[in-house]
A and B are shown apart, each in its own frame.
Chain A
Amino acid sequence: MKKLLIVDDHPNIRRMIRYALHDRFVVEESDSADTAYQMLMKAPPDGIVLDVMMPGVMNGFQLCERIKRDSSLADIHVVLVSACGQVADQELGRSLGANAYFVKPFSPLALAHHLIGALMQPSDRSA
């Protein structure tokens, strides 16, 4: 099963995404970008759902940039989810290499659909 890291300082958002994914991924969680970076350096996930505004040294944009600039991590599928919904924020996310950008409030089912399409083989998607 593919591994997914959910990074958000709001536990309810992490729980919501986990429910939406419906046991289709091995899910790990982190409440900060700093901790997430340590986790993915040890064992890179296949995908990461990354909040933008979080307490700590790094925010989601900065972690996304680090991931995409590191050749050993760049293949990780990065989905930014953020309350920052302005076009400029979304463009910044894309310019940093994010594969997708969801604005809060977002449909958890749409997010799950996106992740399944991006990370799972077609034969595994209906499971």
Chain B
Amino acid sequence: MQVETNFLNKPFEQVHAFPFESAWMLSPWGIAAVDSAGNVELVNPAFERCTGVSANAIMGLGEASLDAILGALALERRRIEVNSGNLRAFHFVRRPAASVAHDLRLAHFGELLREPLATIFGFAELLLTQNYEESVRRELTATLLEQVESMSNLINEELDVSKSCVRVSQSNPRSHE
């Protein structure tokens, strides 16, 4: 199988034709291509996901402006000088692994919270709408309090972890790069 290696000389409108399309489209790195005139000519789908900046807001911007925008974001960045054909450079960006791990932990934390929250919500609804005997009411109310305590413990643990992470990050500013 012959691999296309001369894609850098192709005009941007032919980008989708060259065999690197898959890499461009599926790369976890956000990529912005800067043309020989120094303007952003193309971004891949991951670029918007990584930066939260829409492609429309970036297209046509000068490289200095692109650099300023990306510099304001907490992103891992690489710039590869190309200077070949219509291309001057590629800017690669991705969210730091620590940030991804943080988001995953937050998502997990949210799911952990839903369990006691479900119990509190459910038992509160039952207590409000059903006529239970006093012993049952006391039992359900005790469960509510237990679950509030459980949620409180989860939140405190998460706060402790977050504070520890911030302390580590502040004592070693490059740990997230």
| A residues with CB within 8 A of B | 10, 12-13, 15-17, 19-20, 22, 53, 83-85, 104-109
Contact = CB atoms under 8 A, between A and B. Distances in A.
B147 interface: yes
Given A13-B119, A16-B118, A109-B125, 12 more contacts: A12-B123, A15-B143, A16-B119, A16-B126, A20-B126, A53-B111, A104-B114, A105-B117, A107-B121, A108-B122, A108-B125, A109-B126
Q: Which 9 A-B pairs have the closest CB atoms?
A: A105-B121, A83-B114, A104-B118, A105-B118, A16-B122, A108-B122, A83-B111, A104-B114, A12-B119
B114 A107 contact: no
Contacts, number: 55
Interface residues on B, range: 10 to 19
Interface string B102-120: 0000000011101101111
B19 to A, nearest CB: 31
A10 B125 contact: no
Nearest to B111: A83
A20 B121 CA distance: 12
